[in-house]
Amino acid sequence: MKRVRAAIALALVGLLNLGGLPYEPPPPRVTARAWQAVKAGPRDVLVTLQGYPDLSAARALPTKEQRTRFVAQTLMAHASASQGELIAALRARGMDLMPLWISNQVWVRRANRADLRWLAAQPRVAQVDLDVQFLGLQAHLKPRPAAAPAGVEWGVQRVRAPQVWAMGYTGQGIVIANLDTGVRWQHSALKPRYRGWDGTTADHNYNWFDAASGTNPPAREPEDLTGHGTHTVGTSNGDDGAGNQIGVAPGARWIACRNMEGPSGIGSVARYTACFQFALAPTDLDGNHPNTALAADITSNSWACDPNYGEQGCEVPTALVTVTQALRDAGIMVIAAAGNSGPSCGSISLAPATLDQAFSVGATNSSDQIANFSSRGPSSLTGRLKPDVVAPGVSVRSAYGLPNGYAFLSGTSMATPHVAGVAALVWSAAPWLRGDVDATEALLRRTARPLTTTAQTCAGVPGTQVPNHTFGHGLVDALEAVNHATSVLRAEAPAMHFYPLPLTYTVTFTNLNLFTRTNVLITATLAGAATVLSSEPAATQQGSALVWSLGQVPPGAIVVLTYTVQLSQTGLVSNAPLQVGFDGLNLPIEGVAAQTLAYAHHSWLPVIRHTAD
């Protein structure tokens, strides 16, 4: 057996020696494909270093800002200790590089074989692998021009965004990071919503980053060579104020990072990672001075890490798990296109849609039918249910050409920003949910409109069951989600009440978040000149208000309080305003009040007349 193996090894060496060149195996920790690729000339490589910090403590922090800051600072500190000497040495060698502290990697540009030998000898290096492999694919977009404004686009209406706008919530205070092919930022429907534009001047630092400029210098302002990223950001945020209401959350602000190169839109693990890192801690245009205070709230990801499309590193299905989990721990929602490989079951096969860390979106048409191209679940990686929800993705009209062009496009790419916009509406209406990704995803699943108009059975789950692998939990519904989120605190009492009997109110508080709330205070303002008779549990009366100090309320808990009052008069009475506050909440939550009509008792005796026979 040993002789046979030796003969095979010699034969392989002989094959590799064709042409008279001696065979040189790759150094330890350098992948064979990276070693082979640089034989033809310098190539970009991704250097992974040893170790990764534990970020789980972020999940117990009460605010999004605290979680984001903890995750970024922990990752940066670990990377500094792990990468510091290597980065200094690379710069001394004159190498072009980008530190990826979010994944404890370093992206090294135009490395040759001598560089790879040197990297392999560095003590903290775990692996050196090839990065981008450009195959020269043709642009895959086939837009259909659309000039005339349609008012509120059908997809925006379908997710019931206008009804939420009417409640005063348009996504204000929320930042959506569009991680895509870039953005034609001066488009009339996008420019007013760009965080880098103050209405007079532009500052692209911390609002734009180019991680996929290819052989060109990084763009110093947002640009888009395909129109794809322009179209998707239009669906999440766009509105030109002149009838083109194309965006679900026109009050939200957008920032952008280009993670796909050129008119063909070629990404890589390094490029995707760099843009996730930018969303977590935006930088200046040179990639320096990261600032977590300017982090995104939501990332909209209308792409797939596809090795068949020339995207190096994507053949490893778990390549993006670490970075998407880091964003999740930081309170940043990762929303991802399910893919356009349907209608076969199990066609959700590419990250990030396959990952538990991403909220995956399929595509429907204007009749709420699933698009034939929309990928079906389950996830090829985990075997679990995917997509999570569906949204409009067929013939979606959005921004395209400059200065104010529009086009119809179809794909789960178009469905994804609808959901990013809905999430922004929910967080603007219920800021206490902002950054609680688990609770927000659970809310969007629970409030989606169930869809079962498919005979397809995938992984034993029939299309008549909810959820299923075609529609997930159903069509995302902004109005239902916001109504549910804002009913976290409510009071109930009889609609009619006999005066002067005592009137009892029941107050219910639900902790929708998936972590414990601390120092919870609930306040109920008394109606008129009502006198408190009792409260359960006992509350403290402060002027015309009752205050309950509840301490800690665990995840998903429902707290029920009651108080009984003696009214001083008849008529319509209300206990508004009702408020709850807790650690990590800037402003108290206003609750839904109860109204009761108090009436005095009157008796009417029937008049009985006797008539003669």
CB atoms within 10 A of CB 37: 21
CATH code where residue 561 lies: 2.60.40.1530
> 577 CB contacts (<8 Å, ≥6 apart)?
525, 590, 591, 593
Residue 568 pLDDT grade (very low, low, confident, very high; cuts 50, 70, 90): confident
The confidence score (pLDDT) of residue 600 equals 84
- 180 included as an active-site residue: yes
Yes or no: say if 484 and 443 are a contact pair by the CB < 8 Å rule.
Answer: yes
Nearest to 43 by CA among 135, 136, 132, 137: 132
The confidence score (pLDDT) of residue 143 equals 66
Give this prediction's pTM.
0.88
216 with 309, same domain: the answer is: yes
Yes or no: say if 91 and 97 are a contact pair by the CB < 8 Å rule.
Answer: yes
Residue 222 lies in a domain: yes
- Upstream peptide bond of 387 is cis (omega within 30 degrees of 0): yes
Strand-pair category, 489-492 with 503-510: antiparallel
**Helix crossing, 412-429 with 437-447: angle to 10°?**
110
Residue with tokens 């040495």: 89
Sequence-separated contacts (24+) of 583-587 with Cβ below 8 Å: 583/62, 583/517, 583/518, 583/519, 584/61, 584/62, 584/63, 584/66, 584/432, 584/517, 585/431, 585/432, 586/431, 587/431
What percent of the chain shows pLDDT beyond 70? 91
Residue 4 pLDDT grade (very low, low, confident, very high; cuts 50, 70, 90): very low
Domain that holds residue 39: 25-130
Nearest to 442 by CA among 425, 416, 423: 423
d(CA 324, CA 330): 10
First to last CA, the chain: 124
- 129 included as an active-site residue: no
Residue 1 lies in a domain: no
Domain stops at, among 79, 97, 130: 130
Instruction: Provide the sign of the torsion angle of the four alpha carbons 63, 68, 69, 70, taken in this order.
Output: positive
Residue 571 pLDDT grade (very low, low, confident, very high; cuts 50, 70, 90): confident
Strand-pair category, 125-130 with 43-49: antiparallel
Residue 44 lies in a domain: yes
Across the chain, mean pLDDT equals 90
279 with 293, same domain: the answer is: yes
Residue 252 lies in a domain: yes
321 with 461, same domain: the answer is: yes
476 with 494, same domain: the answer is: no
Domain stops at, among 459, 485, 511: 485
221 with 175, same domain: the answer is: yes
pLDDT single digits (tens) 145-197: 666 666 899 999 999 999 999 999 999 999 999 999 999 999 999 999 999 99
536 with 437, same domain: the answer is: no
Average pLDDT over residues 471-482: 97
381 with 499, same domain: the answer is: no
The confidence score (pLDDT) of residue 291 equals 98
Structure tokens at 569: 């008069």
Residue 605 lies in a domain: no
352 with 477, same domain: the answer is: yes
71 with 199, same domain: the answer is: no
Nearest to 406 by CA among 140, 143, 147: 147
pLDDT higher than threshold 70 for residue 302: yes
511 with 418, same domain: the answer is: no
Nearest to 338 by CA among 365, 313, 366, 301: 301
d(CA 507, CA 589): 14
d(CA 85, CA 383): 41
Residue with tokens 């079906």: 376
- 380 included as an active-site residue: no
pLDDT higher than threshold 70 for residue 601: no
User: How many domains is the chain partitioned into structurally?
Assistant: 3
The confidence score (pLDDT) of residue 135 equals 40
80 bridge partner residues = none
- Residue by residue, DSSP assigns 188-238 as TTTGGGBTTB-SS-B--TTTEEES--TTSPPPSS--BSSSHHHHHHHHHH-
Catalytic residue among 204, 228, 231, 497: 228
Yes or no: say if 445 and 473 are a contact pair by the CB < 8 Å rule.
Answer: yes
The confidence score (pLDDT) of residue 207 equals 98
CATH code where residue 102 lies: 3.30.70
Catalytic residue among 264, 300, 410, 413: 413
pLDDT single digits (tens) 254-281: 999 999 998 888 899 999 999 999 999 9
Catalytic residue among 44, 129, 180, 210: 180
The confidence score (pLDDT) of residue 216 equals 79
Yes or no: say if 478 and 248 are a contact pair by the CB < 8 Å rule.
Answer: yes
Domain stops at, among 485, 514, 537: 485
The confidence score (pLDDT) of residue 22 equals 64
Is pLDDT larger for residue 491 or for residue 78?
78
CB atoms within 10 A of CB 68: 27
Average pLDDT over residues 374-390: 98
Residue 507 lies in a domain: yes
197 with 312, same domain: the answer is: yes
CATH code where residue 368 lies: 3.40.50.200
Residue 345 lies in a domain: yes
Residue 527 pLDDT grade (very low, low, confident, very high; cuts 50, 70, 90): confident
Cα angle, residue 82 at apex, residues 81 and 84 outer, rounded to 5°: 65
Residue 332 lies in a domain: yes
307 with 332, same domain: the answer is: yes
Residue with tokens 């029920």: 560
Residue 18 pLDDT grade (very low, low, confident, very high; cuts 50, 70, 90): very low
